[in-house]
């Protein structure tokens, strides 16, 4: 128990420290972008948030597949935790995208492939969460949400390709060689920070899921 909570504390401190440094560098150290100006600083939070939103859902997918194969509750707990945290990062991605979009494009929203796919990802996440809250039996809940997790994730690349054919306004992914090294390493720093935050939140959330499972068991036993 002691080792586990030590890892947790270290992770938490690391996450907080890197987030602080990342934000500080992004706002005060790195010079403003030559073309976009200061608004580009929002990329240091928007891109990592988007990366984590999709990573979290990938984790949901892997855990869902594992659960369907092994039927081990552990996988279900990790999936549910990643889904919940994923929603936070997805909403954040969309909001930050809007904060960047309004001064840059003049509008809060456009139907470009990445924004649209992110919005649909949110819809899939929300469906996943709603399904879990409506399923009363623990085993059914785990099984059905695992199915939705698998199908939902299978859809994401298809959606992305479809929307790419449909509209293209979003910046094409900038390859490292065309990006200022200062900007790149600030981005990497914040990416690491956000990932540490995700890991820390996951550790705590999964622990909480286990606790919830305990409670459910006891309530069922005493019912």
Partner 1 sequence: MRKWSVIGVVYVVALILLWVYTGRVGMENRGFIFAGYGITWGALLWYAFRLESRERTTARAVESFEVAGAGD
Partner 2 sequence: MSVLHRAWAIVWKDLLIEARTKQSFNAMVFFAALVLFIFSFALGPDTELLQEVAGGLLWVGIAFTGLLSLSRTYQNEETSGGLEGLRAYPGDSRSIYLGKLLGNIVLLLLVEAVLIPAAGILFQANLWPHALGLAAVSVLGTIGFSLVGTFYSALTVNLRAREVMLPLLLFPALVPVLLGAVNATTLILEGDLMGEAVVWLRVLGAFDIIFFVICIWIFPIALEE
Alpha-carbon distances of 60 from 65, 78, 123, 137, rounded to whole Å: 9, 7, 15, 20
Rounded distance between C-alpha atoms, residue 148 and residue 186, angstroms? 36
| Locus of tokens 């920070």 | 193
Angle at 90 between CA 139 and CA 94, to 5 degrees: 150
Is residue 85 at the binding interface for partner 1, with CB under 8 A as the rule? yes
Which has the closest alpha carbon to 83: 145, 15, 155, 160? Answer: 145
Binding partner of residue 152 among partner 2, partner 1, none, CB under 5 to 8 Å per kind?
partner 2
Is residue 169 at the binding interface for partner 2, with CB under 8 A as the rule? no
Binding-site member from 14, 47, 65, 91 for partner 1 (CB under 8 A): 91
Give residues in contact with partner 1 (CB under 8 A): 19, 23, 26-28, 32, 37-39, 41-42, 45-46, 49, 85, 88, 91-92, 95-96, 99-100, 102-103, 197, 201, 204-205, 207-208, 211-212, 214-215, 218-219, 222
Give residues in contact with partner 2 (CB under 8 A): 68, 120, 123-124, 126-127, 130-131, 134-136, 140, 143-144, 147-148, 150-152, 154-155, 158-159, 161-163, 165-166
């Amino acid at each position: 128990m002691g080792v586990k909570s030590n890892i947790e504390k270290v992770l938490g401190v690391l996450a907080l420290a890197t987030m602080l440094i990342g934000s500080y560098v992004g706002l005060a150290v790195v010079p403003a972008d030559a073309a976009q100006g200061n608004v580009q600083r929002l990329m240091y939070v928007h891109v990592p948030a988007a990366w984590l939103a999709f990573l979290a859902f990938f984790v949901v997918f892997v855990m869902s597949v594992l659960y369907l194969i092994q039927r081990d509750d552990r996988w279900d707990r990790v999936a549910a935790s990643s889904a919940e945290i994923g929603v936070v990062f997805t909403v954040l991605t969309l909001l930050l995208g809007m904060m960047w979009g309004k001064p840059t494009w003049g509008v809060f929203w456009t139907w470009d492939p990445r924004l649209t796919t992110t919005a649909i990802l949110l819809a899939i996440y929300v469906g996943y969460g709603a399904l879990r809250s409506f399923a009363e039996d623990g085993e059914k809940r785990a099984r059905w949400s695992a199915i939705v997790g698998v199908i939902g994730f299978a859809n994401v690349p298809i959606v992305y390709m479809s929307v790419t054919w449909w509209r293209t306004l979003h910046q094409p992914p900038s390859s490292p060689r065309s990006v200022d090294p200062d900007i790149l390493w600030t981005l990497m720093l914040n990416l690491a920070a956000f990932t540490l935050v995700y890991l820390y939140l996951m550790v705590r959330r999964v622990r909480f899921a286990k606790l919830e499972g305990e409670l459910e068991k006891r309530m069922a036993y005493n019912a």
